[in-house]
Amino acid sequence: LQHLFQLKFTAKDLQRSSKKCDKEEKAEKVKVKKAIQKGNMEVARIHAENAIRQKNQSVNLLRMSARISALMDKFEHQFETLDVQTAHMEDTMSSTTTLTTPQNQVESLMHEMADEAGLDLNMELPQGQTGSVGTSVASAEQDELSQRLAKLRDQM
């Protein structure tokens, strides 16, 4: 980001310098006109050369500014692309590590740490709750099957 800031600053600085050269060119043109009016052709020629030099310098500075701006745009685009790729890799890696982490080892470690801390994890873990719910659902199904079997036997 510091490089990006530096590029922006340099581009603005080049644009300012270009405008300064434009002002200098105009001032030199005024001096050319005054020298011609006084009949001093040698001085007029020097000021004309300076005006042309300032104009060329202004154009060159604008070109440099445009190149730096293009470089800055390219840098920003690459930076954004890198951000997207990094986010995608992080998502992929986190989902991969989640999938490859054995849950029984995770739960075992949690129980071990809870034991060291003197806490009872069975109350906090959803596994204990789902186990009892699963058991009650299984027993309800067993009761329903038993009732059906009894009805079938009665019909015979």
Burial of 54 (0-12, 13-18, 19+ CB in 10 A): buried
- How many independent structural domains does the chain possess? 1
What's the rounded mean pLDDT across residues 48-57? 95
Give the predicted TM-score (pTM) of the model: 0.49
Q: Which domain holds residue 19?
A: 1-154
Q: Which percentage of the chain shows pLDDT scores above 90? A: 34
How many other C-beta atoms can be found within 10 angstroms of the C-beta atom of residue 24? 17
**Over the stretch 95-130, which tens digit does the pLDDT of each residue have?**
766 666 677 777 788 888 878 777 766 655 454 444
